[in-house]
Amino acid sequence: MLFPTATFAIFFLLVLPLSWLTMPHPHRWRVFIIVASYVFYSWWDWRFVFLLAGSTLWNHALARGIHRTSVVSRRKALLIVALAGNLGALGYFKYYDFFVSSGDNLLSTIGLSMPLGLRTVILPVGLSFYTFMAISYVVDTYRGDFQPVSLARFAAYLSFFPHLVAGPIVRPAELLPQLETPRDPRSVDTSRAFYLIGTGLFKKVVIANFLASSIVDDVFGAPGQHSSLEILVAVYAYAVQIYADFSGYTDMAIGLALLLGFRFPQNFDSPYSAVSIQDFWRRWHMTLSRWLRDYVYIPLGGNRRGELGIYRNLLATMLIGGLWHGAGWTFVVWGGLHGLGLAIGRYRRGADTTAPTGFALWRARIITFHLVCFAWIFFRADSFGTAKDVLVGLVSRWGDPAPLVTWTIVVAIAVGIASQYLPARVPRQLMDSFARLPVVAQASVLAVGLMITSVMGPEGVAPFIYFRF
C-alpha cells in the first residue's frame, strides 16, 4: 500500500478518526493500531505479517530475559542469541542469493563447481527497517538505557505503519514514551503535518517519478546508447531523484504520524548543501547515520583505538551501511567510497575545526556534491558492467546528440538542488501562514495542491526506492 494512492487515502481516512476515538483508552488504541498496521503491511503480501509477528515475539522475549537476569554471561548470551536471530532472518531473506551466487562465482574462478542451491527469495518489504528498530530495543535493554515494555506496547512500536516499510528508523526512546499516555488532539501541529505531506507528495510524484521516467531509467538501463551529456545529466537527475523519493516518503511518514499525534525524528536536512562527506552523513538519512554510529561504529571501538583504528572503524561501518542498502557488490563499493571519504576528510581536517566561509564554503559544497554523485553511480547501477559503461560514457561521447536532455529536466534538477539552500525560516513562515487561514481556505489550498501534483506527475506511482532495502 503506497502512500500516494487512493487505496492508502481511504485506509488513512478510516484509521485517523478511529485512532483518535480509541486514544483515551490506551489498551484499545494499541490493539487497534496494531491491527491497522498489520492490515497495511499485509497489503503487499499477507505472508509477511508472520515474519513481523515473529520478530516482535522473538525480540520481546529476549529483551525481557536480558532485563530479568543480572548474570553478565547470561545477559551477553541472550544478547548474542537475539542478534543472531535478527541478523539471521535479515541475512536469509536479503542476502541468501547474494552470498550463494558470490560463493559460486568464487569457486568457479578457481576451477571448482559445486551446486550451492541458488533460489529466489522474496525480500519482505521493510524488513531492514524494523529489524534495525528491534535490534535497538534489545541492545538498549542490554545497555541499561531502556527497560522492556509490555508485548502490546512493543508490537505497536515495531509495527506502527507510518514508519514500518521505509523508516525513519525510530529508536525506542523516541517513540515508546509517546505510547504511554494518550495524545492531545489540540496539540497536533496540523499545519506542519499537511506541509510535510504536501511537499512529500510533490517531491515523490512530480520530481522523483518524472526524472526517473524521463531520463534516469533509460540512461542507466543502456548507458552505451547515450551521449556524455545525457549520462552526466542522468547522474545529476538520479541524485535529485533519490533525494526527492526518499525524503518525500519520510516527509509523508512524519506528517502522517503527526496527524495521529506522534512525533518522529527528522531524517533529512538539506544533504546536498553539505561541505564534506561527514557533513553529508549528518544530513542524509540521519536516523540511519545515528544508528550506524551507536550500534556499529562505537561497538567497533569508535574513536578509542587510535588514528588508524578510527579509519578502520569508519571504513568498516560504511561497508556495512552499503551492504545494508542492497545485496550487491555495487552497494559495497558505494559504502566503501563513503568510508574512504570519511577517513580522508578526517585526515585532511586534522585538528582544524574551522568552518569554511566565502569561496572556500562553495568550493567545499561543489566538491562534496560531485563526490556524492560519483558514488551514486555505483548505487544506481545494477552491475559493475553498467557502472563502467556509465563512467566510460561520461568522457567518451561528448558532441553526440542528447535528445533526452530537455529544459524541463534541467529545471527539475535545478529545483531539487536549489531547494537545499532555502533558509530554514521559509518553511516555517509558510506553515505559519497556512495555520492562520480559515478551515475552508486550508481545505482549498490542499485541494489545489493535490490537483497540481496529480496533473504534473506521470501516470501511476512507482514504488519508493527504499522499499527494496
Asked if 104 and 118 count as a contact pair (C-beta separation under 8 A), the reply is yes
Q: Cell 512529500: give the residue.
A: 200
Q: Residue 199 is which amino acid?
A: T
Which candidate in 163, 226, 325, 338 is catalytic?
325
Question: 227 by DSSP, 3-state: which?
Answer: coil
Q: Residue 164 is which amino acid?
A: L
CB hemisphere CA count around 168 (13 angstroms): 29
Q: Cell 541478523: give the residue.
A: 87
- 240-261: b (≥16 Cβ within 10 Å) or e: bbbbbbbbbbbbbbbbbbbbbb
| DSSP H stretches of helix in 260-305 | 277-283, 286-292, 298-300
In angstroms, the CA 34 to CA 198 distance is: 26
Grid coordinates belonging to 238: 538520479
In angstroms, the CA 201 to CA 194 distance is: 10
In angstroms, the CA 376 to CA 220 distance is: 12
Asked if 369 and 423 count as a contact pair (C-beta separation under 8 A), the reply is no
Residue from 146, 92, 82, 79 nearest 121 by CA: 92
The set of residues, in sequence order, having a beta carbon less than 8 Å from that of 261 and lying 6+ positions away, is 19, 20, 23, 178, 183, 184, 185, 187, 188
Q: Cell 551466487: give the residue.
A: 101
Output 44-50 pairs: Cβ under 8 A, ≥24 positions apart.
44/1, 44/125, 45/122, 45/124, 45/125, 48/124, 48/125
325 is catalytic: yes
Q: State the helix-helix crossing angle for 48-68 and 72-109, rounded to 10 degrees.
A: 140
Q: What is the DSSP string of 7-71?
A: HHHHHHHHHHHHHHHHTTSHHHHHHHHHHHHHHHHHTT-TTHHHHHHHHHHHHHHHHHHHHH---
Grid coordinates belonging to 145: 538505557
3-state helix, strand, coil in the chain (%, to 5): 75, 0, 25
Q: Cell 571448482: give the residue.
A: 112
Q: Active-site residues: which are they? A: 325
